[in-house]
Chain A
Amino acid sequence: MNRAPAPEPVIDPGLQAERTRLAWSRTALSLTVIGALMLHPFGRQLSLHQVVPGWAMLIFAGAVWWYGGRRYRLVVAQVRAGRSIASDRHVRAFAWLCLVPALIGLWAVLT
């Protein structure tokens, strides 16, 4: 009779890192919706200066999606190694997340 393999130790009880990764994904999807809203013509003829903010928002959405995945991998690796997940680099990255969408939104309504 074969013995069952030993269970792997649980690294992240409650899947906190995965839930946080999904929160980053939802944020990126929200940014994508705003970018699509800016790019949708709704019967209008969009000029170049009206299209650029929408594409900027979509590119930023992609960057947020990528950052969420990178942060997830980092958090799992740090937790597995028993190290801290805090870093001042994340404080600055989160600050960009506050500023950039509002600036692109202002750019979109003022052009």
Chain B
Amino acid sequence: MATDPDEADGPAPAGASDPTRPLRTGRRPPLEDVGSDPDYRFTLANERTFLAWIRTSLALIAGGVALVQFGDALGPRPIRLALGILLIALAGTLAALSHHRWAAGERAMRLGESLPRNRVSVILGYALAAVAVVVLVVLILGRG
């Protein structure tokens, strides 16, 4: 549960977690030891946003699988395989970033700080635009 650093007597033992420590340094303390509990509704809203990003990454996985297994008309298998792996790798990266964002948001709320900036949607937008251009080129070359 939440701990108040002002209540601690004497210096903290070595390795003890410090809730006031910056978020990006060293090993992070367990979530329940950071700051104090926010309103549970905010925690659940953060969780639903994380799940929405996971579903976005699942759509990318579905696209990658469909491209490789059912996209025979799109082009030769090596190119489809490369695009499929690219989409699934993008999905994994997106899911990992969304998990990082969820955890950072949760810690920020517990510490009463501003929520971290959302860079995930920017990365997703540029990456999807790049994939769309590659698919377009493959389609045009395949019909040429």
Contact = CB atoms under 8 A, between A and B. Distances in A.
Interface residues of A, number: 39
Contacts of B50: 94
A16 B43 CA distance: 10
A105 B64 CA distance: 8
Given A98-B95, A102-B88, A105-B61, A91 B40 contact: no
Contacts of A42: 69-70
Interface SS of A by simple majority: helix
A23 B136 CA distance: 33
A10 interface: no
Contact of B88 (A38, A88, A109): A109
Interface string B102-115: 11001000100000
Interface of A: 14, 16-17, 19-20, 23-24, 26-27, 30-31, 33-34, 37-38, 42, 75, 78-79, 84-88, 90-91, 94-95, 97-99, 101-103, 105-106, 108-110
